[in-house]
Structure 1
């Protein structure tokens, strides 16, 4: 079991530590809602200079937040296919090992 945990740790180090967090998800939802709102406002077409400036500022802020998320998502996407063991949690690996040990024990008991 210790070997499995150690191997999983090495695999995670090799794959990198990028993860998608709740703040990433929140930023994407916020940006999508902001884009919908901006689309509605622009469709109406009755914007003052001040409203245009505020809308530009909001869209720029969301663009900056999304650029960081894009980097994280690209990193996860790049390493995901190369890290199949990361798809299984350590508990799944332990359960598989326990099942294998039980099978070996049954085979040993039968042949004894």
Structure 2
């Protein structure tokens, strides 16, 4: 995978392009590779992104628990990473995955199955 290094830190060329929030985080939009559904949004810092790039498993920083978590580590609903892209501004990641099971912690396929604010389902 491009951008992956053997060192214990994120490739400096990638790190230099990231525009982080005040907590050092970047939102990561997770999309299913085949269906293109938006599954969820998580947060990554440099370490979470490095772990994602090197392991091929979506790894996020939990703002509430203040710890790293690998999607599916306890539920079995894993995300095998197919591609990671950085947007043109460097402030959002797009993580394309092969999702096993539901992506949402509620058991829904996506975190966006409910609460249509505008659209044909409203």
TM-score range, shorter chain: under 0.3
Task: Answer 1 or 2: which has greater helix percent.
Answer: 1
Q: How high is the TM-score relative to the length of structure 1?
A: 0.20
Q: How high is the TM-score relative to the length of structure 2?
A: 0.19
Q: RCO (CA 8 Å, sep 6+): is it higher in 1 or 2?
A: 1
Structure with larger Rg: 1
